[in-house]
Amino acid sequence: MKKISLLFSLLLSLSIAAQTQKNYQKMERALFASGCYWGTEYHLQKVKGVISTTVGYTGGHIKNPSYKEVCTGRTGHAETVEVIFDPKLTSYETLLKVFFETHDPTQINRQGPDIGEQYRSAIFYVNEEQKAIAEKIIKVLSDKGYKVATELSPASVFYSEIDDRHQDYYGKSGGIPYCHKYTKRF
């Protein structure tokens, strides 16, 4: 009887793991840079349907950059947030609107007091559908009179910030972003 119970438990565990993996495969990925990645992450985490966020770097020309290297502005990387989201609960377009409403997309290589190429506004699209949606939203903003400086580039290698103190910074510190504020644009 114990063998049957153990076998049943094992089969149930395998079934749950397979279902979890199947559900995860239905998730989508987005990469956004809009100045300090802490503020970007703070606002995107609040969107219903966002499963996880990770801060790091993309868009540069050296492998495995450190925080100190990126801060020099010489690596070409942007402070970026990787967003894993459930497309049944939110859309890429919704995430883009939050992205554009929580930073100033007209600033070049800066956000508020943070100055340098690493703080540029950028969308790193992972497929052509994301590119088309981003182009549509940028056109909407341009038609409203915004001179959008946001870079639109294909996604490259995303390097996660390995120093855990950078992940979920405002969630851990209880603070609020100093260079990201909400501004209604849509």
How do the pLDDT tens digits run along the chain, 186 residues long? 555 554 455 555 555 545 544 555 699 999 999 999 989 999 999 999 999 999 999 999 999 999 999 999 999 999 999 999 999 999 999 999 999 999 999 999 999 889 999 999 999 999 999 999 999 999 999 999 999 999 999 999 999 977 777 887 667 878 888 888 889 999
Residue 36 among the catalytic residues:
yes
Query: What is residue 174's predicted lDDT score, i.e. its pLDDT?
Result: 84
Task: Tell me the CATH number at 56.
Answer: 3.30.1060.10
Residue 169: strand pairing partners: none
User: CA distances (Å), 142 to each of 34, 99, 122, 137, in order?
Assistant: 18, 15, 16, 9
Cβ burial, residue 2 (10 Å; 0-12/13-18/19+):
exposed
- Determine the straight-line distance between the first and last CA of the chain, rounded to whole angstroms: 63
Query: What is residue 3's predicted lDDT score, i.e. its pLDDT?
Result: 54
Decide the pairing of beta strands 114-115 and 78-85: unpaired
Query: What is residue 117's predicted lDDT score, i.e. its pLDDT?
Result: 95
Query: What is residue 172's predicted lDDT score, i.e. its pLDDT?
Result: 81
Query: What is residue 13's predicted lDDT score, i.e. its pLDDT?
Result: 54
3-state secondary structure 43-105: HHHCCCCEEEEEEEEECCCCCCCCHHHHHCCCCCCEEEEEEEECCCCCCHHHHHHHHHHCCCC
Q: Please state, as a whole number, how many other Cβ atoms lie within 10 Å of the Cβ of residue 24.
A: 11
User: 49: domain range?
Assistant: 26-173
Query: What is residue 10's predicted lDDT score, i.e. its pLDDT?
Result: 52
Domain for residue 169, yes or no? yes
Query: What is residue 163's predicted lDDT score, i.e. its pLDDT?
Result: 77
Looking at the 3D structure of the chain, how many domains does it have?
1
Query: What is residue 38's predicted lDDT score, i.e. its pLDDT?
Result: 87
Catalytic residue among 36, 44, 96, 122: 36
